Structure 1
Amino acid sequence: MLKMEKLLPSRLKAMALYHTLSRMSDNLRACCKLLLDHNRSNILVSLRNWMQSYKYRMIRVEGMCEG
């Protein structure tokens, strides 16, 4: 039982981080659409590169949530 109690706080933190990152993802998608509409391709490429590394981090955090 003690082992479960030690795991719980970090798991809850991971879940909170996951939800925060999910909201960020929605905002970034909207930002990318706006940039596309205004044809800001150089900024968009930078954002796309950042999003690829962001998705990798999301997968890692999601794995922490699942235990």
Structure 2
Amino acid sequence: MIGKAVTRNAANNNMEAAMAEYLRYPDKQHLQWVVRAGSRLVHHFANLYAPGGSNEDVAQGGRVAVL
């Protein structure tokens, strides 16, 4: 159980680790970890493509692209 918690924390901070865990355990929980791990990257690009405005639509598109 401790290893699982460490894995979850690492996956939440690292998109590659999250994806590796999802490939090992392809379930809804691990997919959520992938989305969470990619959220900073998605928001970074959303801010680039929709600066100063409502970028939530762009961010939603980015989340779909991560999946």
TM range (shorter): 0.3 to 0.5
Which structure exhibits the higher relative contact order, with contacts defined as CA atoms closer than 8 Å and separated by 6 or more residues?
A: 1
> Normalising by structure 2, what TM-score?
0.35
